[in-house]
Structure 1
Amino acid sequence: MYLICAFLLVTIVFESQIASGRHKDMKSFMVYEVVSDVISNPPQNLLRVMYPSGVEVAEGKELKVDDVIGYPVLTWNAEEDEFYTVMLVDPDYPSRREPYARSFVHWLKMNVVLDDVTTGDTVADLIFTKPDPGTGIHRYVYLVYKQPAKISSLHDNAPNSTTEGRKFFNPNKFASKYNLGQPVAGNFYRTRNKGRIRIYNFFDPAIVGARTDLTSND
């Protein structure tokens, strides 16, 4: 009887940790090299991300492009009277093989209250995660940081909503600049654009103007 009670207690505690994300050792962040390519250490907790399609992000799971359109609902262990920075970045921009503009900011908000992303200040508007065809599979990383206080101004080189203003973003440096510390929550998924790409050969005089339609298998 004692063993049964002890087992039930352990089960309840474990399920509670699953619900909060605290049981996670975040190995997926290392397996998929989010740690090293994006951040130095795994987030403290798992961020829950739910899209309008009903699809939920699950630590590196590959999702369809059409399933990750729209504003997601984010849930983490937010504390009252605290402000948070929320970001979504693509470390595989413009392609997984040649990510020379790493990372690309898809969304950046600061001064978010609790876990309500409709609050706060938008630094870079949300643009949906649809990589170009033929660029391979991309990782899209959500990170949440707890701010030391409300941030009223940004540095001159802060990201913005232009294409150029989104490139070459470094979450570690950004967090250091604003004293954000390590991410308190995070999650990520992978997706690719399986659309057809059109390749034109402009270099062979014998076939100038010829074209071939290919489907990327990256």
Structure 2
Amino acid sequence: MLRRMETVIKALAENKISDVISFTPKKLLTVKYNGKDLNINDTLTPTVVQNKPEVHWEAKNDELYTLIFDDPDAPTRSDPKFGQWKHWLVTNIKGNDISTGQELAKYIGSGPPPNTGLHRYIFILCKQPGNQNIKFNGEHILPITGDLRNNWNAETFIKKWNLEPEAINFFQAEYDDYVPQLYAKLGESKEKPVEIN
């Protein structure tokens, strides 16, 4: 286990994930796309990650968690003027059953623009304080739309709501021929974000 975490921490350092998070994770988050385990720093394609992954972690039934998934490299790693881009945000997850949580941002897979190189896509699992449900007043519930997803900051959100980072995983992806389909889907969406009061 110690050697595995050393590998995780090395991969985080080599890929400058500290640009996004300042904490040292305690565990590697188990993420599966199409039944296949994500190894930290895998290179995947937008085609492979277009649908929600399975995400697993050890938890007691009375514990509550928040799961964050974002891209700090929008539109490019060298010029992240739109990063971080919020791809998925699920809160008030009971134990390790994501289906019990509230999706504040519906899942949108990777969609890096053409000729922008590899983007990092980071999963962060956080424990909620006191095992209490949080009403995220002032945040928005985001449907499958690009609205209000750019220039977001995972660490600011974590600190604001006193969340405790527990586990992490990430992969890299660059443009493939699925991306125009994703953009078309986002462009066709008529749903609008709803603020939580």
Sort the TM-score into its range (normalised by shorter chain): 0.7 to 0.9
User: For 1:151 and 1:173, how far apart are their aligned partners in 2?
Assistant: 19
- The answer as to 2:137 corresponding to 1:190 is no
SS in 2 for 1:118: helix
The residue that corresponds to 1:176 in the other structure is 159
What letter corresponds to residue 10 of structure 2 in structure 1? K
- Any idea what the Cα deviations from partners look like across 1:127-158, whole Å, max 9, x if unmatched? 11121211211000001000013334223255
- The answer as to 2:24 corresponding to 1:42 is yes
Contact 1:103 1:170 in 2 (8 A): yes
Structure 1 stretches of 5 or more lacking a match? 1-16, 196-218
Contact 2:103 2:141 in 1 (8 A): no
SS in 1 for 2:90: strand
User: For 1:107 and 1:113, how far apart are their aligned partners in 2?
Assistant: 17
User: For 2:139 and 2:63, how far apart are their aligned partners in 1?
Assistant: 25
User: For 2:44 and 2:63, how far apart are their aligned partners in 1?
Assistant: 32
Instruction: Please list every run of at least 4 consecutive aligned residues from structure 1 whose deviation after the TM superposition is greater than 4 angstroms.
Output: none
User: For 1:63 and 1:81, how far apart are their aligned partners in 2?
Assistant: 34
Shift of 1:163: 2.0
Shift of 1:29: 1.0
- Any idea what the Cα deviations from partners look like across 1:83-112, whole Å, max 9, x if unmatched? 000011000012222111211000000011
TM-score, structure 2 length as denominator? 0.80
User: For 2:74 and 2:125, how far apart are their aligned partners in 1?
Assistant: 21
Shift of 1:184: 0.5
The residue that corresponds to 2:105 in the other structure is 124
1:56 to 28, 34, 37: 37
What letter corresponds to residue 169 of structure 1 in structure 2? W
Shift of 1:168: 1.3
1:144 to 125, 147, 156: 125
SS in 2 for 1:70: coil
What letter corresponds to residue 14 of structure 2 in structure 1? V
Contact 2:61 2:96 in 1 (8 A): no
SS in 2 for 1:65: coil
- The answer as to 2:16 corresponding to 1:33 is yes
- Residues 103-122 of structure 1 mapped to structure 2, 5 A cutoff: 103-122=84-103
Q: What percent identity do the matched residue pairs reach?
A: 33
Change (3 A) 1:116 1:175: same
Q: Quick check: which one's strand share is greater? A: 2
Which of 1 and 2 has greater Rg? 1
- The answer as to 2:30 corresponding to 1:69 is no
Contact 1:55 1:68 in 2 (8 A): no
SS in 2 for 1:129: coil
User: For 2:4 and 2:61, how far apart are their aligned partners in 1?
Assistant: 23
What letter corresponds to residue 160 of structure 1 in structure 2? L
More relative contact order in 1 or in 2 (CA 8 Å, sep 6+)?
A: 2
Change (3 A) 1:138 1:33: same
